[in-house]
Structure 1
Amino acid sequence: MTSPIHCAGGADYDPVVSAGPAVVEAAALRADAQRNREAILEVARAALKQHKPFSMSAIARRAGVGQGTLYRHFRSREALIMAVHRQDVAELVQVAPLLLEQHPPLRALQLWLERLAAYGRIKHGLAGALHGVDRAQLEGEGYGPILGAITLLLEPNQRAGVLLADVDAQDLLLLVGFLWRIDLDDDWESRHHRLLQLVLAGLRVP
């Protein structure tokens, strides 16, 4: 989105508005398309959390868009599921340095692992909704970026002598693999939180 340009004499010049109605309409359409896409992804994410079969028509209806709009953004159910996965992985990766800026290293790692747990809950639905090559793609696309985020969070704790120096990102990811296997019952939240604390306790320097 462009901002008005301040001109001599105090007047503001808005390049979008000044370009004419066609440009303004095109910008509005792009913004509307982005809102539709975000609404579709949010509804699909909520459906995946429930771990129940869903149809593209149901997603369109809940997102308040037509099926034509849905298929313009996502050509298939698999494409929609992969888009949810990519967005969630991107958010996990992007939040890692922000948490380090806002919290001590160990607390930042704890908070990030809680976010990973929430992603793990969705991942149950992602894996169950895909087949064969799509499931392999799901695993492969997120692996490298997630390892990078873990490394970013792990190393400050190791430099500070808080966590064991010989543990790497792959080790930690294997240790928290239970997040994708815990039964999603009423005790899921308290159980995953307790298990994450046990993992971190085991990594502490004596």
Structure 2
Amino acid sequence: MRGRDLPDRLDDRAVRRLVAVGEVPERAAQELVSASWAPTTAAVKKLVDACVAEGTIAAGHDPADIIMLMSFLWRVANNDDGAAQDRRLIATVFSGLQAPPRSS
């Protein structure tokens, strides 16, 4: 795969779109997602820090855990019912994040 074959902005949505239209084999898509893990985690850390600072969530949550937790968004139907389910699930997640994480 050449750089010109990739979208200008590589994110999970772009990778899923390319896979959906059959332009990128699944294995290549997984490699692209893996390559974007560190910058994605860094970006989510900034969001987590901002949420902690404003008191929306408790301190101590691992950004990688939050990314995995929010992965349910990839499975929700792409319609009005799915959008409503997204809102309910996100509210549930943020409600849970108000408590500090338990140590393993």
The alignment's TM-score, normalised by the length of structure 2, stands at 0.70
Q: 2:28 aligns with which of 134, 145, 164?
A: 134
Q: Deviation per CA, 1:3-38, whole angstroms, max 9, x where unpaired?
A: xxxxxxxxxxxxxxxxxxxxxxxxxxxxxxxxxxxx
Letter in 2 for 1:163: I
Kindly name which structure, 1 or 2, has the bigger radius of gyration based on alpha carbons: 1
- Matching residue of 1:146: 40
Task: Say yes or no: does 1:170 pair with 2:64.
Answer: yes
Change (3 A) 1:183 1:160: closer
Following superposition, which runs of at least 4 residues in structure 1 exceed 6 angstroms of deviation?
none
Gaps of 5+ in 2: none
Q: 1:87 aligns with which of 1, 4, 9?
A: 9
Q: Which has the higher helix share?
A: 1
> How many angstroms does 1:196 deviate by?
1.3
Separation of aligned partners in 2, 1:194 and 1:123: 26
Change (3 A) 1:185 1:88: same
> How many angstroms does 1:174 deviate by?
0.9
The alignment's TM-score, normalised by the length of structure 1, stands at 0.39
- Matching residue of 1:199: 93
Q: Aligned-pair RMSD on alpha carbons?
A: 2.7
> How many angstroms does 1:147 deviate by?
0.8
Letter in 2 for 1:194: R
Mapping of residues 59-78 of structure 1, within 5 Å: 74=4
Identity of aligned residues (%): 23
Per chain length, whose mean CA-contact separation is higher, i.e. which structure has more relative contact order (CA < 8 Å, sep 6+)? Answer: 2
